Amino acid sequence: MNKICEDRVCAVYEMQQDRGNGTIICYQVFPGISVMYNNFHAIVNSKRIESENNCLSIHHCKEGRIELETINGEYLYLEPGDVLIEKLDSEYSTCSFPLSHFHGITINISLSENVEGRLNELLGYFNINTMEIKKLFLSDNTPFVLHEEAMINHIFGELYMLPDKVKKEYLQIKIIELFILLKSIDLTQVNKTQQYFYKSQVEKIKEIKSLITDNLDKHYTMTELAKMYDLSLSALKKCFKGVYGEAIYSYLSSYKMNVAASLLLKTDESVTAIAGKVGYTNVSKFSEVFKKNYGKSPMEYRKINIQTE
């Protein structure tokens, strides 16, 4: 990541790759607390940043998915609405975005002695202690995932809509609200289920995804794919949805329609030819599925979008 600009309120970092890009806008909210707005359109697949190991991090997934690989070679996935609480020196060694698309927020809280004292003195007015929050969620230093916590997601939802002119001030208020909510959570009532997938399974699933998206004009049955990659049918279904967030045929259908939409705008090929390229021999069926995804028939979509360019 390269820093491209900075002022007294925030710093902006940018990443450029051959197959995507990303930006991070970082706000220093309190001494020792920063909020990062993460926007990526790339897979990335990089080592975790460990600039300060003694740091508590809270990650929120708004759109896309986060793939985290543990030092033991297992994979965990965060989906929209999930919140991960961890120390930066946790068991997760690499991070990537399997959908090549991610929007979310990271809150970093320093636990170093020279910062923690001043920070807790400030937060003490609200009966907040950062070390107590750490102990609540990370008593055994194992990263903690919150699934679909409505009140927590409400706070994060507001963080995405703050007015720029007073963003830092609003961030200070919302971070305090978030800490108050976190320390009030009854962990006995929280869904703590975390599903991990073995590296060997994930690698096979990614190969399957490449196979079916590189050959859109071919049809593979689930049974064929399971046999080709030495997976049980249930493992194929479960792991594919775990990695990509959708059942395999649902994912493939959306992928095909995205490709078709791109071809409609970028080429002069007929609807029949485009339907064939994405695996449809029945043009009427293709048009029906396309309209279900985009709200318009292929010809209407092409005409309207070309006229507005």
What's residue 43's pLDDT? 80
pLDDT band at 37 (very low <50, low <70, confident <90, very high): very high
- Tell me the C-alpha distance between 295 and 254, whole Å: 14
pLDDT band at 53 (very low <50, low <70, confident <90, very high): low
| pLDDT at residue 19 tops 90 | no
Same domain, 165 and 263: no
Write the DSSP string, 129-161: -HHHHHHHH-TTS--EEE-S-HHHHHHHHHHTT
Q: Tokens standing for 239?
A: 């792991």
What's residue 92's pLDDT? 67
Same domain, 100 and 11: yes
What's residue 198's pLDDT? 93
Letter for the amino acid at 11? A
What's residue 80's pLDDT? 95
Same domain, 169 and 210: no
pLDDT more than 70, % of the chain: 93
pLDDT band at 181 (very low <50, low <70, confident <90, very high): very high
- Report pLDDT digits (tens) over 135-165: 888 877 778 899 888 999 999 999 999 988 8
Same domain, 108 and 245: no
Same domain, 94 and 217: no
Q: Could you tell me if residue 98 is inside a domain?
A: yes
111-125, 183-197, 215-229: which is most confident: 215-229
- Tell me the C-alpha distance between 11 and 149, whole Å: 30
pLDDT band at 74 (very low <50, low <70, confident <90, very high): confident
pLDDT band at 118 (very low <50, low <70, confident <90, very high): confident
- Report pLDDT digits (tens) over 254-295: 999 999 999 999 999 999 999 999 999 999 999 999 999 999
What's residue 110's pLDDT? 86
Last residue of a domain, one of 189, 221, 253: 189
What's residue 171's pLDDT? 96
What's residue 229's pLDDT? 97
Same domain, 72 and 163: yes
- Report pLDDT digits (tens) over 218-257: 999 999 999 999 999 999 999 999 999 999 999 999 999 9
- Tell me the C-alpha distance between 296 and 22, whole Å: 31
Q: Could you tell me if residue 164 is inside a domain?
A: yes
Domain of residue 130 covers 2-189
Same domain, 97 and 122: yes
Same domain, 271 and 178: no
Same domain, 93 and 184: yes
Same domain, 213 and 129: no
Write the DSSP string, 242-279: HHHSS-HHHHHHHHHHHHHHHHHHH----HHHHHHHTT
pTM attached to this predicted model:
0.86
Same domain, 142 and 35: yes
Which residues, listed in sequence order, are joined to residue 96 by a DSSP beta bridge?
67
Higher pLDDT: 20 or 298? It is 298
| pLDDT at residue 134 tops 80 | yes
Domain CATH number, residue 148: 2.60.120.10
Q: Could you tell me if residue 194 is inside a domain?
A: no
What's residue 78's pLDDT? 94
Q: Could you tell me if residue 252 is inside a domain?
A: yes
Last residue of a domain, one of 147, 171, 189: 189
What's residue 305's pLDDT? 83
Last residue of a domain, one of 189, 221, 255: 189
State the total domains in the chain: 2
Q: Could you tell me if residue 132 is inside a domain?
A: yes
Same domain, 38 and 183: yes
Q: Could you tell me if residue 227 is inside a domain?
A: yes
Q: Tokens standing for 116?
A: 């923690």
